[in-house]
Amino acid sequence: MNMTHYMELLAVNQPWNLIIFMAIPVILAETLAITELYLLFTRKFDGAVYYLNRFAGIAVGIYFIGIIIYLMTNAVIPITKANEWRTIIDVIAVGTYLIAGLPLIWIALQEMGLVNKALDQMGKLKIHATCVALFLVFGHIAMIAGMLDPSILGYEGASTHQMKENMPMNNQGHKH
C-alpha cells in the first residue's frame, strides 16, 4: 500500500517522529480541549485547571510554530518544487495538519496578551472554544486523509505487487 507524506512522516524514524509530530502536539491540544470544557461548564477562571489550560494553550501554539516552520522548509517546499505530491489526498493531509496549528497559535497569542486585548473573559473564552473546535476539525481531516492510500486517486508509487511478495509467511508457509 502506498502512503501519504503525512503518514510516511509519522512512520519513519520511529518512535521520534510519532512523538514529535503527533504525540506531543495532540497531548497538549487534548489537555487544552479537556480543560476548555471544564472552564466552559464551571466558569472558574482561577485555580489549577485554568492555569493548566493557559499553559497548554501557550505551549501547543508555540510548539506548532516550530512544526509549521520545520515542515514548510523541509517537506512542503521541497515536495512542491519536485512535484512529488501523491495526489490531492496528500496535499489535503499535509495542508490540513498545518492549518490545524493556526488556531492553536491564535490561542497562544491570546494567552500571551498579543491579540483580542479588548475582549472580556467570556469573549476570550468563546474565541478559545472556537479555536479548539477548528483544531479538532482540521486535525481530524488531516488524520483521515493521511491514512488514505493515495493510489485510490491514481498515484503510482511503490508496487503493491512487490510488497505482497515480500510479506512474511506464517508457520505453515502461507503468506499473510
Please tell me the distance from the alpha carbon of residue 38 to that of residue 30, in angstroms, as a whole number.
12
pLDDT tier for residue 22 given thresholds of 50, 70 and 90 = very high
pTM equals: 0.85
Question: Residue 31: which H helix or E strand, with range?
Answer: helix 24-42
Our CA dihedral for 109, 134, 4, 170, rounded to 10 degrees, sits at: 110
Confidence at 156, pLDDT banded by 50, 70, 90: confident
Do residues 150 and 87 lie in contact, with contact meaning Cβ atoms separated by under 8 Å? yes
